[in-house]
Amino acid sequence: MDILVFRLNHTSSAELAELEKSCFSDPWTVGMFRDSFNDPLTRCFGASVGGKTVGFGMMMAVAEEGEILRIAVRPELRRGGIGRALMQTMVDAAAEEGLTSMTLEVRASNIPATELYKAFGFEEIAIRKNYYEHPTEDARIMEKKLCSYSQ
């Protein structure tokens, strides 16, 4: 499968909100995506296969720290390298910007995502009790230390 990862902008808000509905029990709305795109600290990357957007990753960079806000891949295409390509792009972008660490939250029950993050060097640093809704569930907080390319 040929995966193309590219930068997204506000014109993708409706498409991403639709993709969210197939991936999350508490999806972001079009307005939430628009607000994120209007924030100069946010970066969003899309992944396409055959010219169709099949996933995205969104991160925020504040000072020297990055936070992965969202990563989503169409359920029927998971485990095909799309999430890995998005993660690699976000980690590379963070390092190129000189960020020293990245964090993220993941549902405690989402073992495939947790394993992906561990493969990229993220380590669990804390549990956030009852963080998620629909259903209520704890979040694992994970962190990765970066060596920026600019050092």
Distance, CA of 80 to CA of 10 (rounded, Å): 27
Q: CB-side exposure of 133: number of CA atoms within 13 Å?
A: 3
Answer yes or no: are the C-beta atoms of 70 and 88 closer than 8 Å.
Answer: no
143 is a catalytic site residue: no
Question: What's at 97, amino acid-wise?
Answer: E
117 is a catalytic site residue: yes
Catalytic residue among 15, 67, 96, 117: 117
- Active-site amino acid positions: 105, 117
